[in-house]
Amino acid sequence: MIKTRRPLSSALFASAALALFTVALPAPAYAQATNAVTAPVAALDQALDGIQQSGAGSFEARAKALGPVVDQVYDLETVLRSSIGAARYMQLSTDDKQKLLQAFREYTVARYLSSFKKGSGAKFTLRPEIRNSPTGGNKIVTTYIGSADNMPGTEIDYILHPDGGTWKVVDVLLQGHISQAADQRSDFGSTLSSGGVNGLIAVLNKKVKIFSED
């Protein structure tokens, strides 16, 4: 006679699943994985806090300090591709992509410098928990930007994706749902259509100049 197995009860199934999860991913490993995802946002928060200090120096000095952090934290090429549209981006030549990426990088740095001027006094609070993004294997890390009398402040959600063993920012959500890349797409797309790559680069360079004089 063939003996049939009795199905696991819900309680037994939950216990088994929990035990399997605990063996597969012990607490130290889970904490390490979480830290790896939040580390880029923590580094950016720290850098932004630094450039707003009264002794941070000139615009050029602050840009020199922040630029490498932006390079480390962001996947700027992915952000740029999303900001102008993947199909349009793929039509660009390699040379045009490189020139546009450099201009976009300078624009990104300058925009941060303008937003966090010396003496701004912004306070950064990183939320340690991470969330799964609806898109692929991306993760969401939240930081709050406020002031001494307004904490925790405004919620900023960073979308990160895995990139060569690290995590990098590919989009920023304002107020939990406004995509910065999508917001830029209409502006960048129309400029690219009317003025080409050189026209978009000129606009980005002009904005950098305005930020530097602000």
- Neighbouring residues of 34: CB distance < 8 A, sequence distance ≥ 6: 128, 129, 130
Q: What is the pLDDT of residues 93-133, one digit of tens each?
A: 999 999 999 999 999 999 999 999 999 999 999 998 999 99
Q: Please indicate, yes or no, whether the overall pTM of this predicted structure exceeds 0.85.
A: no
pLDDT of 40:
97
Q: What is the pLDDT of residues 51-85, one digit of tens each?
A: 999 999 999 999 999 999 999 999 999 999 999 99
Domains of the chain, with CATH numbers?
A: 41-184+195-213 (3.10.450.710)
CB of 182 within 8 A of CB of 165? Answer: no
Is residue 183 over pLDDT 80? Answer: yes
Of residues 22, 14, 105, 20, the one with CA closest to residue 66: 105
CB of 68 within 8 A of CB of 169? Answer: no
CB of 168 within 8 A of CB of 161? Answer: yes
C-alpha distances in Å from residue 83, one per residue of 11, 20, 26, 56, 183: 48, 42, 39, 30, 8
The strand ranges marked E within 34-186 are 123-132, 139-147, 150-163, 166-174, 178-179
Distance CA 34, CA 21 (A): 16
